[in-house]
Structure 1
Amino acid sequence: MLTLTSPVETPLHRLRAGLKLAALALFTFALFWSVSPLWLGLALVLVIALYLMGGTTFARHGARMMRPLWPFIAVIALWHLWQDDLYGGAVVLLRMVAAVAAANLVTMTTRLSDMITVLERLARPLSPLLPPRRLALALALVIRFIPVLSERAAQLSLAYRARSGRAPGWRLFAPVALAALDDAECVAQALRARGGAG
């Protein structure tokens, strides 16, 4: 639960966490600055190439981590088709997929401890208000929890469909919330066993 780092070693694993997070921030800024589907498409191709650089096993794992994004892609695509705005839809979808894929790539190639160290350094100016270690740990855990909870929601949705033959809709809210609370309690116990957040 505390790590989603891929066990498949890639050249990106050897880069410093701070460098990867800075590159991700710049890449995301460039994505939201651009309104050209051509440039956004090239950015997505670059991210896919970085996944493939780690080999097919690594790339397949990365693609599996992106599965929870498909419902959002479908809704956005249908909305823009209905609005007859293919250009705007292409920009939004390419931007979203490239940004999430890049963030997922950083998550897969960066250890949680390295991410906490970088975030702790960035949070030092806030030390009079909040201990940097706690803030860094909280941010790192949020980053790690999002894909885990998305995967859990997808599994619960599949289980509901298998039992009832219908889409779960609002019925999924309670089990996902309870699963999140259960995971949070397990992480809290693990942190307490290791001496707390520091």
Structure 2
Amino acid sequence: MISLTSPVETRAHGWPAGAKLAVLCAATIVLFAVDGLIWHMGFCAGMLALYAAPGRQFLRTGLRRLSMLWPFVVLVVAWHVLTGAAVEGVQIALRMITAVGLANLVTMTTRLSDMVDVMRWLLTPLTVFGLQTKGVELAVALVIRFTPVLADKGRLLRQSWRARATQRVGWRIILPFAVLAIDDAEHVAEALRARGGL
């Protein structure tokens, strides 16, 4: 597993995790409440400016992590072009890029342990009803940690396919990708059992 926190230190690294997550929630609400292509172009430009502010290395790292969105962006825009709603498709794509970009910005400037602490604090009232917060905390941590790991393994699978075949990468890598994900899940489950589970 790898850390999502950026090695480039920024001022945002010292801000409270709860405040950053609250601002992220508010920004996401605004993104979905506001319509208009110009607005969303401005929001996306503002998000990119936040990435650029700490420097070129931070910007490169952030954009690399957002590169996995491009297939979804192409699919959304192509569908809306075919249905005669190209402007709406571009607006949806910009909204998606901005929302995911802001969320990625929070994870890049916040330690995972700090986010888990916020999650624990939010879930504390539910312990009255018998909810075991440790399971939820672990699930959130695993999702955050393993998403880039699986994306990286998918990239390596695509590269391996291109090195060995003349055909385009297609559905054939779905099965080996699923096997890799299941294998990782089994290793994590064995490690958890070895440490006493939850």
Displacement after TM superposition at 1:184 (Å): 2.9
Residue in structure 1 matched with residue 148 of structure 2 by the alignment: 147
Q: Deviations over 1:88-107 (max 9, x none)?
A: 11211110100111111111
Q: Which runs of 5+ in 1 are unaligned?
A: none
What is aligned with 1:27?
A: 27
Structure 2 length normalisation: TM-score? 0.89
Structure 2 unpaired stretches of 5+: none
Conserved in 2, the CA contact under 8 Å of 1:134 and 1:197?
A: no
Once the two structures are superposed, what CA deviation does each residue of 1:46-84 show, in whole Å capped at 9, x if it has no partner?
Answer: 111111112100110111111111111111122222222
**Structure 1: how far apart are the matches of 2:145 and 2:167?**
30
> Can you list the C-alpha shifts for 1:161-180, whole angstroms capped at 9, x where unaligned?
22112233222222222222
Contact 1:44 1:97 survives alignment (8 Å) = yes
Is the counterpart of residue 54 in structure 1 residue 75 in structure 2?
no
- Aligned CA RMSD, in angstroms, stands at 2.0
What is the aligned residue count? 197
Q: Secondary structure at the match of 1:3?
A: coil
Matches within 5 A, 1:87-102: 87-102=87-102
Partner of 2:180, secondary structure, is helix
Between 1:32-41 and 1:174-183, the stretch displaced more is 174-183
Aligned partner of 1:158 in structure 2 is 159
Between the aligned partners of 2:166 and 2:97, the Cα distance in structure 1 is: 29
Aligned-residue offset at 1:30: 1.0
Relative to structure 1, the CA distance from residue 153 to residue 132 in structure 2 (aligned partners, 3 Å threshold; closer, same or farther) is same
Contact 1:2 1:112 in 2 (8 A): no
Percent pairwise identity: 45
